[in-house]
Amino acid sequence: MAVTPISSSSEIRPAQVRPTKRWRGGGMTLVMLGPAVLTLLLIGVYPLVYAIRSSFHFSQLTKPYLGTPWVGLDNYRAVLQDGLFWGALGRTLQFFIYTMPIQIVLGIGIALLLDGTRWRLLGGIARVLLVLPIAMTPTVVGLLGRLVYNRDFGVLNWAIGLVGLGPVSWLGSPVPAMATIAITDTWQWTPFVALVALAGLTSVPPDLVEASRLETSRWWDTFRNVQLPFLLPGLTAVLIIRTADILKLFDMVFVLTRGGPGVSTELASIYIQRVGFRIFDVGIASAQAVLLLILCTVLAQTYIRVFYREIET
């Protein structure tokens, strides 16, 4: 009879201690992850939900007395019938065609040079230099661009003046203005493509490269059959990230040209900003932003199906 209380207490004691330890572990997890989750909800999820909700309502900030009545798909119909929106989307596609192929070709070329160099110190310095343009914010890049492309005292006009060419209004004419934002974007993001491609090249087994070089002396065959399959996953990710960046590109273009001259550099994001914060039609602007999100999602899925390949070694 004296043993019964001891055995019952020994059975109760673990049941009392373990939940306390679990609660302490769960409490620490909540303390560590809580701020990150809360921040994600505030700056990521909530604006998305608000934009989707606003796209189905009439929301004119200059007419608060009208309220925000439900209009269904009327905002989306208005956007699809808006020629200015399609024009901005066409200029965005034009900008994408100007920049992405050049960035991918130059990035892969830089990665091949760095991967094949025998000067390790020079390669390390080049890797550090490649990070600098990516580390700059788009606003700073735009401000630097204004100094480079200024018609009167810009560095670029000074350089071409040395060979006898007259000053060019890089930011004041439609064609040069589109060229300037394309060149500036290429300067900033080609290093990103190069670093991703370099990571893919370092994952190629050296034995495969040596075997390919023994079979053929043409570098193109080695690159296409051996190295390119290892680059495709990273390049697919680059395409997805850069497509999303171009669709929402605002800071650099706004600082450089503000969408001008006229509307020659008014990309989709610039036009949405004009509708939402100059015309103050939040409902239409939200519908435009949601359509861009859908377009970006469709393109991302297309890239994965067309370009992504599993590597079998």
- The pLDDT profile of the chain, 313 residues, written as one tens digit per residue, is 444 444 444 444 544 445 555 555 567 888 888 888 898 889 889 999 999 999 999 999 888 888 889 999 999 999 999 999 999 999 999 999 999 999 999 999 999 998 877 777 887 888 888 999 999 999 999 999 999 999 888 899 999 888 888 888 999 899 999 999 999 999 999 999 999 999 999 888 888 888 888 887 788 888 888 899 999 999 999 999 999 999 999 999 999 999 989 999 999 999 999 999 999 999 999 999 999 999 999 999 999 999 887 776 5
Tell me whether residue 71 is in a domain.
Answer: no
Q: Are 285 and 79 in contact (CB under 8 A)?
A: no
Q: Are 129 and 24 in a shared domain?
A: no
Which of 50, 42, 270 is closest to 138 using CA atoms? 270
**Do 83 and 155 sit in the same domain of this protein?**
yes
Both 218 and 300 in one domain: the answer is yes
Same domain, 40 and 133: no
Domain assignment present for 312: no
> Do 27 and 83 fall into the same domain?
no
Report residue 7 CA to chain centroid gap: 63
Of 306, 283, 296, 298, nearest to 58 (Cα)?
A: 283
Total domains, the chain: 2
Cβ 181 vs Cβ 265: under 8 Å:
yes
Q: Is residue 65 part of a domain?
A: no
Nearest-10 crossing angle of helices 268-277, 282-307: 160
Tell the residue number behind the tokens 């390049």, with chain if given.
Answer: 235
Query: Quick one: tokens of 269?
Result: 């994001």
Range of the domain at 201: 79-307
Angle subtended at Cα 287 by Cα 286 and Cα 288, rounded to the nearest 5 degrees: 90
> DSSP label at 225?
I
Q: In this structure, what token pair is assigned to residue 201?
A: 């090249």
261 secondary structure, DSSP code = S
